[in-house]
Amino acid sequence: MPGGSKHGDPSADPIRGRVALVTGASSGIGAATAVALAEAGATTVVLCARRADRLREVLEQCREHAPSSAMFPVDLVDLDALPDLARRVEAELGPVDLLVNNAGVAKRRRMTDLSVAELDAVMRINFYAPVVLTGAVLPGMIERGHGRIVNVSSMGTRSAALRVGAYAASKAALELWTEGLMLDLLGTGVRAQLLVPGTTRTEFSEPSADNEAPFPPDPNAQDPADVAAALLALLRSDDFEGFASDAHAATSLAKRSDPNSFLASVQEHLTPSPTGPDR
């Protein structure tokens, strides 16, 4: 079978000898993850994104370690095309063992200015596309008794959703859907996991059409390769949820432990200081 996917013991290395499909693989976290998977021994890395020219660059890097890797340009907005994409990939390269739903679209817009159409556009790529693509490869994984699905979320769900309410909402939906999927897959040999990265040095945070201005540069922003390393570490662990840094894990814990105090602190930071004689 093309791709030479090795099935068998579900406890075996989830990367080495596997066929891995990565969405949003043309740049940033997706590109770094695709290359890291190839370097870690994946037999075939399947790259999916809109920009074919950028995919070719990443494909060259992947093929240095995984020669049978391939690219499939696709626009995830077209949900109806995703089941056919999965069928083509598996027909040409073999069953998908590992799916990384990484593709995402930014939306920096105040909630008071956000339209329903804008929210729907964000949800289609950030939430519905992972759901549809997972649904396309999941039956085969369950039949074989092995598979991994890693969904990439965002610290936008664990910090303050200022000006990114639509984006954070789409990622929050993905998080709870992934949790439900993980629980429903118990006993099947297939596992769903969640990676929650923070600000990363990618074009995702750069100026773009239909978005408000980016936030000020974050001096603690991570390199995509570091986030990819965190994703691979999560894959090799028994954890459901992983973070790209200890600081992100601590922030998430602080908000979950006491959301009222956490958000009160955020509001205090955002509220302009009063001026005048009474100050």
Question: Mapping DSSP to helix (H, G, I), strand (E, B) and coil, where does residue 28 land?
Answer: helix
> Over 90: is that where the pLDDT of 158 sits?
no
Radius of gyration of the chain (CA): 19
User: Residue 153 catalytic?
Assistant: yes
> Over 60: is that where the pLDDT of 269 sits?
yes
Tens of pLDDT, residue by residue over 92-135, are 999 999 999 999 987 777 878 889 999 999 999 999 999 999 99
Q: Among residues 153, 154, 159, 252, which one is catalytic?
A: 153
User: Residue 68 catalytic?
Assistant: no
What's the pLDDT band for 271 if we cut at 50, 70, 90?
A: confident
> What pLDDT, on the 0 to 100 scale, is given for residue 4?
39
Going by DSSP bridges, is the β-strand pair 98-101/241-243 parallel, antiparallel, or unpaired? unpaired
What's the pLDDT band for 3 if we cut at 50, 70, 90?
A: very low
**Maximum average pLDDT range among 2-6, 208-212, 224-228, 246-250:** 224-228
Going by DSSP bridges, is the β-strand pair 70-73/98-101 parallel, antiparallel, or unpaired? unpaired
Higher pLDDT, 27 or 204: 27
Tens of pLDDT, residue by residue over 223-242, are 999 999 999 999 999 999 99
> Over 80: is that where the pLDDT of 208 sits?
no
Residue 48's nearest CA partner among 140, 158, 132, 139 is 132
Mean pLDDT confidence for 193-200? 88
Round to whole Å and give the CA distance between 81 and 16: 29
What's the pLDDT band for 2 if we cut at 50, 70, 90?
A: very low
> What pLDDT, on the 0 to 100 scale, is given for residue 206?
61
pLDDT, mean over the chain: 88
Share of the chain above pLDDT 70, in %: 85
What's the pLDDT band for 10 if we cut at 50, 70, 90?
A: very low
Residue 58's nearest CA partner among 67, 68, 47 is 47
Domains in the chain, start-ordered, CATH in brackets?
A: 19-269 (3.40.50.720)
User: Residue 171 catalytic?
Assistant: yes
Higher pLDDT, 269 or 140: 140
Q: Among residues 5, 128, 159, 171, which one is catalytic?
A: 171
Higher pLDDT, 268 or 206: 268
> What pLDDT, on the 0 to 100 scale, is given for residue 15?
97
Q: Among residues 167, 170, 252, 255, which one is catalytic?
A: 167
Round to whole Å and give the CA distance between 46 and 233: 20
